[in-house]
Amino acid sequence: MTVHAFEAETLDGKRQSLSEYAGKVLLIVNTASACGLTPQYEGLQRLYERFKDRGFEVLGFPCNQFAGQEPGTHEEIRQFCTLNYGVTFPMFAKVEVRGEGAHPLFRHLTGGDDELIPWNFTKFLVDREGRLVRRYDPKVTPDQLADDIEALL
């Protein structure tokens, strides 16, 4: 099974199949607006702008499971990301990434091992076929991923 087998709700409330991203390199990230790592949105946007024309997408999944750092509504999340960081990459509805309520996509990415998502801004690099290539800890900055993304493009 690949990430293309899953679907998720967008911030607009629409169901979207991740199969729409088949053939693209993906960086899937659990995000939060009130986290010490929130400025990583800026680096994620830079990566997106740098590589999007070559078949790269960043997919942001807001999560409120870590110290309540994503308390906003979907509209508040959208406004925050757009106004503060100029985010134009796809953002999805708030999800859980750990535990029994974890979104199936994140259960797939971690193989059910909750320890693989220790905090907000854990990143998963996925190849064009939808297979997980690598997981990055939250403190790994988006700029540090550029070479790995370039290698898959």
**What would you measure as the largest C-alpha separation in the chain, in angstroms?**
37
Which residue among 35, 81, 126, 149 is the active-site one?
35
Q: Which of 10, 45, 40 is nearest to 122 (CA)?
A: 40
* Helix or strand run (H / E) with residue 76: helix 74-85
Q: How many CA atoms lie within 13 A of 95 on its CB side?
A: 25
Q: Is 81 a catalytic residue?
A: no
3-state secondary structure at position 105: helix
Report whether 93 contacts 11 (CB < 8 A): yes
Helix axes 40-51, 74-85, angle to 10 degrees: 80
Contact 20, 118 (CB under 8 A): no
Which residues are identified as catalytic? Answer: 35
